[in-house]
Structure 1
Amino acid sequence: MTVPPEELRWTAGFPPATRERWRELALGVLRRSGVEAASPEEALAFTTHDGVTIAPIYDASDLPGDPGLPGEAPYVRGSRPGGGSWEIRQRHEAADPEAVLADLENGVTSLWLAVEPEDLPRVLERVHLELISVALDAGERTREAAETLFALAAGQAARERPTRPEAPPGSGDGGPAAGFLTGTLGADPLRDPETAADLARRCAAGFPGLRAAVVDATPYHDAGGGDAEELGCSVAAGVAALRVLTGAGLSEEEAFGQLEFRYAATADQFLTIAKLRAARLLWARVAEVCGVTRNAGQRQHAVTSSAMMTARDPWVNMLRTTLACFAAGTGGADAVTVQPFDARLGLPDAFARRIARNTHSLLLEEAHVARVTDPAGGSYYVERLTRDLAERAWEWFQEIERAGGAGSRAGDDLVARRLAATRERRSEAVAHRRDPITGVSEFPDLAERPLRRPPHPRPVTGVHYAGEFERLRDLADAQPVRPHVFLATIGPVAAHNARTSFAANLFQAGGIATVSGGPLTDPEEIAAAFTASGARVACLCSADRLYGEHAGPVAAALRAAGARRIWLAGRGEYPGVDALLYAGCDALGVLRTTFDDLGVTR
């Protein structure tokens, strides 16, 4: 029997991998592919919509330094020393006690209640407040909602006083209800500073588990902003909130302890993980500047992005929100909300709420995501990305501060202009399908059966990345006869199949059906098939070698048969062809032009 050595060397016999060797090999592959670049980094790196560079490879030299320990400044590795599970926070916009109880009985540990204050007693009638956390979202009626919640907690505490010890000395004015309430009251220090300050003083004095105010960064994300911009805006808003609370008499430590931050989690898992880690790093820097050590860790609530959700093929939203939930939990969020897959359509049904809460359960109970503290820690890519996001966001925060800070007219105007510019860049990437949206701009299903849901009780604001494609789909669906385009498939299936699929996918992204002519080469036969289809727009689909021989004659025959516009799937110049379809072309522009050619009024 051979006894293996104490230390197994898995890489024995292989030369050491170096960045220089990777550059040499990668550059060779690029040149053989026809890409000329000074370095593979130059050719393969890309920049996010708000200017953060993502390199193609990372190694130990990219590590920015010691990220610290979990639960200790600068809190990159998490605000909790021992890690652990996040709160499963489900949002409710309708006053439905049965839906609330169903959530709590099936794994939800936190309620995000966007209901009217007068509905809270009915919604929480059978809820044990001491067992869950509550996040209020009452807008202009925050004070009323908070007072109602305080009264409900006091009533429950009074009923249970015979079995509960009295509040210990020095516990503040919360009385017996002090231990009943955890969560946040949802006050906005910038829109309603008086209410935020009053509630913060009350929470600081008597409700140690309750925070009064929320710094909500999701509106910056929903306006089209990038991750670094969302971070910078959140820090600016957080600093403005600190000024409000300390100006109202709270100490700096108390003010830090009254804020909860809300961020968007997207299907880009690494950017979301790095964003949440960077957010804690940034807020720790603010605490350091303020000389605060207690309550310096940032309390985070991550919500799966509204902007990434689609109304078309909404089932794909399950995949998006699963990635986002995983990233939020891995990134160290204290509470996570998974939006139901049908959230774009209106109020979610019971099945959608079930899938949303089960997303958490699968990650926590089956994948054991929360068993490891900061599982992304030590990754060259994530550590570098965390630092790059933080640096970019800090620069942006300082720019906002120089303009007057969050809440000032100049500061808000600056933010609006910056977000609008980023939104425009993102919209262009979506239009050209560089940012593909599965089920909408890619792989659309024209035969899908639309889901119907009751409308949201409050207006839904913000951009949706899929919005322009979905508006064209709606317009096409509203026509008495679905608009359609003829695909002139030249030659055998093997020659035209790839480009036929590409062209059909592009036109169907706008709700335009496609009709194929079959494997033909004779121009007159193709023109006859075009006439029989009833289409008025055609697209040639074949291989480059067949285009050289057949594209011109086929285009001439189609024109003679009445084609208003002739597209060609591919590149090159061919007589009679009006325009080209290719990877990276302006797909929205193609669709709008086709609608015009077909006489569909936009």
Structure 2
Amino acid sequence: MTVAPKRPAAMTLAAHFPERTQAEWRELAAAVVNKSRPEGEQLDPDAAVESMRSHLPGGLVVEPLYTRADEPALLGVPGAMPFTRGRALRDADVPWDVRQLHDDPDAAATRKAVLADLENGVTSVWLHVGADGLAPADVAEALADVRLDLAPVVVSSWDDQVGAAEALYAVLSASAAGSGNLGHDPVGAAARTGTAPDLAPLAGAVARLADHGEVRAITVDTRVHADAGATVPDEVGFALSTGVAYLRHLEAEGVSVEEAFRHVEFRVSAGADQFLAAAALRALRRTWARVGESIGVPERSRGARTHAVTSGRMFTRDDAWTNILRSTLATFGASLGGADAITVLPFDTVSGLPTPFSRRIARNTQILLAEESNVARVTDPAGGAWAVEALTDEVATAAWSTFQEVERAGGMVDALANGLVAERIADAVAERDAELATRVRPITGVSTFPLAGEKRLERRARRELTVSPEALEPHRDSAVFEALRDRSTAYAARHGHAPRVAVPLLDVPRAGDRRVDAVNLLTVAGIDAVDAGEPSEAVLVAAGKGYEGVTPGMDVVDFLSSLLDVMGAPA
């Protein structure tokens, strides 16, 4: 008879540590915080803990310590309500769909790039169609080498969604096993172009796909809101409201709620805050499942399909190589959050159309994380972590509040028309711009650690999209600093050299460090720092214990802009 081995006793890793109370921890934390503070500026425990809290856009708060008291009442499991932990269990061999974007209007070049991507690890194709992408008539040629039974294909468009959908449908309908998404998102298109949304094509698109079970009709693309400056909770809230608008319309056209629900896929942005990106995806699934529950969708069909795209708002033109680091963090966060598909934008995407090398880096960012770091071999690996669960709850609660506000305003279509969406985004942009200008929210390689003498990347320009004044325009975080550098570049073109500012060495403690800070500050705007006595157009005036303007919390954009004004740099 075989005797089963005895199970080892549970490991009690913290058994030999003495128990501590919250009050004791707060006292210890205050002691550490106060080590670097002058005698008269010591903080009490409450103030010390407050100084360690992180405040994220959208009213989110990250505590310095999470304990078992923050454990969720119901953690749940993947594939079941509340779907926080995933739409389904992950396949360890195919962890997520590696989806590459193609927006080159040259059909032959796109065809070649699509094939190269698929041969080197990409698992699905995303074609952007329209005035700023591929022409609808060229979709078939771009996909000519794609095995449609192996690689799903999705399309997007801001100005010709019907044309893009028709072109893809013609290709997929010729394949017995094609899959993908036709990309209908009239509300998103209206937001991006500043036009009125036309929901009429939705019902027909759903009806014609009745015999194409692996093809969906609708993509709720909230990158338009995120790229314009929306906070993460608002992006999720707008996603919910847009999805509900489509469900209402389809139900009114005779489509069952379960069938309508099946056709909706969400395309959302993923930023460099990896835990916030994960929390956003988890919160989106939870809240969308709640919508499904409230309208009677069977539980098995309530899981949201999600496509995460590295945030265009975080990408920089200057020191573009740093975008690779941002994308890696965003991809890791999207993986933690259980995205069904992930797209990494090439690091040079701001400069123009990507090169084969930058597309390779983009796809390999995903492949290395998935296959070599093994990050994707566990479903919802952050599930149960008190900090992640608390942040997920915060995002879900704030997003639901935004969703309710939009619904009270008449729904997403009315909220776009009456300016509610634009107003919320404008408020978020103003708050974020203030943090960027004071470097409370630094941008590596741009507002901090700038690269002096950088040679700008040269790429083929993208075609521009014509929009109305009411459109939600993309708002990259680094744009205001890049504008300062552009002024210095224009000055150099006129005078034969960059603007120069003399930085004298002060006779004060840590003078060398302070001078380095001043030099780095000037480099942010592309201004050359020179020693006192050398030819210069201005002098950084010594003031008190440092340099004028080089102080914590200063508005560096305003300071540098004023300095360029003094030197006569073109505005």
After TM superposition, is the score higher than 0.5? yes
Give the Cα–Cα distance (whole angstroms) in 1 for the partners of residues 490 and 88 of structure 2.
Answer: 53
Q: How does 1:422-461 map to 2 (within 5 A)?
A: 422-459=428-465, 461=473
The answer for the alignment partner of 1:387 in structure 2 is: 393
1:514 paired to 2:522: no
Distance 1:284 1:434, change over 3 A: same
The C-alpha deviation readout for 1:499-534, integer Å capped at 9, x for no partner, is 1111111111011110134xxxxxxxxxxx2xxx12
Distance 1:535 1:348, change over 3 A: same
Give the Cα–Cα distance (whole angstroms) in 1 for the partners of residues 100 and 345 of structure 2.
Answer: 8
Q: By how many angstroms is 1:409 displaced?
A: 5.0
Give the Cα–Cα distance (whole angstroms) in 1 for the partners of residues 485 and 382 of structure 2.
Answer: 39
Q: By how many angstroms is 1:105 displaced?
A: 0.2
Give the Cα–Cα distance (whole angstroms) in 1 for the partners of residues 123 and 185 of structure 2.
Answer: 24
Q: How does 1:119-130 map to 2 (within 5 A)?
A: 119-130=138-149
Is the contact made by 1:310 and 1:317 (CA closer than 8 Å) also made in structure 2? yes
Give the Cα–Cα distance (whole angstroms) in 1 for the partners of residues 301 and 544 of structure 2.
Answer: 59
Q: Partner of 1:489: helix, strand, or coil?
A: coil
Distance 1:569 1:265, change over 3 A: farther
The answer for the alignment partner of 2:17 in structure 1 is: 14
Q: By how many angstroms is 1:425 displaced?
A: 0.5
The answer for the alignment partner of 2:79 in structure 1 is: 71
Q: Partner of 1:270: helix, strand, or coil?
A: helix
Q: Partner of 1:129: helix, strand, or coil?
A: coil
Q: By how many angstroms is 1:384 displaced?
A: 0.4
Is the contact made by 1:570 and 1:580 (CA closer than 8 Å) also made in structure 2? no
Q: Which stretches of structure 1, 4 residues or longer, exceed 4 Å deviation after superposition?
A: 5-9, 409-412
Amino acid of the structure 2 residue aligned with 1:485: V
1:97 paired to 2:102: no
Aligned residues: 528
The answer for the alignment partner of 1:249 in structure 2 is: 254
Is the contact made by 1:570 and 1:582 (CA closer than 8 Å) also made in structure 2? no
Q: By how many angstroms is 1:134 displaced?
A: 0.7
Give the Cα–Cα distance (whole angstroms) in 2 for the partners of residues 134 and 35 of structure 1.
Answer: 60
1:366 paired to 2:372: yes
Amino acid of the structure 2 residue aligned with 1:598: M
Distance 1:209 1:35, change over 3 A: farther
Q: How does 1:387-536 map to 2 (within 5 A)?
A: 387-408=393-414, 412-459=418-465, 461-479=473-491, 480=495, 481-491=497-507, 495-517=510-532, 529=533, 533-536=534-537
Choose the corresponding residue for 2:178, options 177, 181, 188. 181
Amino acid of the structure 2 residue aligned with 1:475: R
Q: How does 1:220-299 map to 2 (within 5 A)?
A: 220-293=225-298, 294-299=300-305
| TM, length-normalised to structure 2 | 0.89
1:52 paired to 2:60: yes
The C-alpha deviation readout for 1:404-450, integer Å capped at 9, x for no partner, is 11011576511111110110000010000111111111111121111
Give the Cα–Cα distance (whole angstroms) in 1 for the partners of residues 204 and 355 of structure 2.
Answer: 37
Distance 1:308 1:412, change over 3 A: farther
Q: By how many angstroms is 1:104 displaced?
A: 0.5
The C-alpha deviation readout for 1:454-506, integer Å capped at 9, x for no partner, is 111243940010001001101101222211111111249x8312111111111
Is the contact made by 1:476 and 1:511 (CA closer than 8 Å) also made in structure 2? yes
Distance 1:24 1:355, change over 3 A: same
Is the contact made by 1:404 and 1:410 (CA closer than 8 Å) also made in structure 2? no
Q: By how many angstroms is 1:300 displaced?
A: 0.3
Structure 1: gaps (5+ residues): 158-176, 518-528, 540-565, 572-576
Structure 2: gaps (5+ residues): 1-7, 129-133, 188-196, 467-472
The C-alpha deviation readout for 1:258-293, integer Å capped at 9, x for no partner, is 101111000000100000000001101101111112
Q: How does 1:14-53 map to 2 (within 5 A)?
A: 14-32=17-35, 33=37, 34-37=41-44, 39=46, 40-53=48-61
Is the contact made by 1:499 and 1:569 (CA closer than 8 Å) also made in structure 2? no
Amino acid of the structure 2 residue aligned with 1:126: D
Give the Cα–Cα distance (whole angstroms) in 2 for the partners of residues 313 and 233 of structure 1.
Answer: 32
The answer for the alignment partner of 2:202 in structure 1 is: 196
Give the Cα–Cα distance (whole angstroms) in 2 for the partners of residues 420 and 585 of structure 1.
Answer: 22
Is the contact made by 1:93 and 1:457 (CA closer than 8 Å) also made in structure 2? no
| TM, length-normalised to structure 1 | 0.84
Q: Kindly, what percent of the aligned residue pairs are identical?
A: 41
Amino acid of the structure 1 residue aligned with 2:143: L
Amino acid of the structure 1 residue aligned with 2:558: G
Q: Partner of 1:346: helix, strand, or coil?
A: coil
Give the Cα–Cα distance (whole angstroms) in 2 for the partners of residues 123 and 321 of structure 1.
Answer: 26
The answer for the alignment partner of 2:557 in structure 1 is: 588
Instruction: Kindly indicate whether structure 1 or structure 2 has the higher relative contact order, using CA contacts under 8 Å at least 6 residues apart.
Output: 2
Give the Cα–Cα distance (whole angstroms) in 2 for the partners of residues 146 and 232 of structure 1.
Answer: 26
Is the contact made by 1:130 and 1:181 (CA closer than 8 Å) also made in structure 2? yes
Q: Partner of 2:350: helix, strand, or coil?
A: helix
Give the Cα–Cα distance (whole angstroms) in 1 for the partners of residues 15 and 75 of structure 2.
Answer: 31
The C-alpha deviation readout for 1:194-239, integer Å capped at 9, x for no partner, is 2222111222x11111110111111111111111111111111111
Give the Cα–Cα distance (whole angstroms) in 2 for the partners of residues 188 and 430 of structure 1.
Answer: 32
Give the Cα–Cα distance (whole angstroms) in 1 for the partners of residues 88 and 63 of structure 2.
Answer: 31
Q: Partner of 1:125: helix, strand, or coil?
A: coil
Amino acid of the structure 2 residue aligned with 1:538: V
Amino acid of the structure 1 residue aligned with 2:87: S
The answer for the alignment partner of 2:220 in structure 1 is: 215
Choose the corresponding residue for 1:599, options 561, 568, 571. 568
Amino acid of the structure 1 residue aligned with 2:536: A
1:135 paired to 2:154: yes
Is the contact made by 1:503 and 1:569 (CA closer than 8 Å) also made in structure 2? no
1:150 paired to 2:139: no
Is the contact made by 2:500 and 2:528 (CA closer than 8 Å) also made in structure 1? yes
Q: By how many angstroms is 1:345 displaced?
A: 0.5
Distance 1:128 1:569, change over 3 A: farther
Q: Partner of 2:266: helix, strand, or coil?
A: strand
Give the Cα–Cα distance (whole angstroms) in 1 for the partners of residues 338 and 265 of structure 2.
Answer: 14
Q: By how many angstroms is 1:154 displaced?
A: 4.0
Q: By how many angstroms is 1:125 displaced?
A: 1.1
Is the contact made by 2:155 and 2:168 (CA closer than 8 Å) also made in structure 1? no
Is the contact made by 1:189 and 1:241 (CA closer than 8 Å) also made in structure 2? no
Is the contact made by 1:215 and 1:260 (CA closer than 8 Å) also made in structure 2? yes
Choose the corresponding residue for 1:87, options 97, 108, 132. 97
The alignment's C-alpha RMSD in Å is: 1.9
Is the contact made by 1:89 and 1:110 (CA closer than 8 Å) also made in structure 2? yes
Amino acid of the structure 1 residue aligned with 2:14: T
Distance 1:255 1:515, change over 3 A: same
Distance 1:251 1:433, change over 3 A: same
Distance 1:135 1:29, change over 3 A: same
Amino acid of the structure 1 residue aligned with 2:564: F
The answer for the alignment partner of 1:547 in structure 2 is: none
Amino acid of the structure 1 residue aligned with 2:523: Q
Give the Cα–Cα distance (whole angstroms) in 2 for the partners of residues 12 and 81 of structure 1.
Answer: 34
Q: Partner of 2:425: helix, strand, or coil?
A: helix
Q: By how many angstroms is 1:29 displaced?
A: 2.6
Larger radius of gyration: 1
Is the contact made by 2:169 and 2:182 (CA closer than 8 Å) also made in structure 1? no
Amino acid of the structure 1 residue aligned with 2:124: S
Larger mean Cα displacement after TM superposition, 444-453 or 335-344:
444-453
Amino acid of the structure 1 residue aligned with 2:211: G
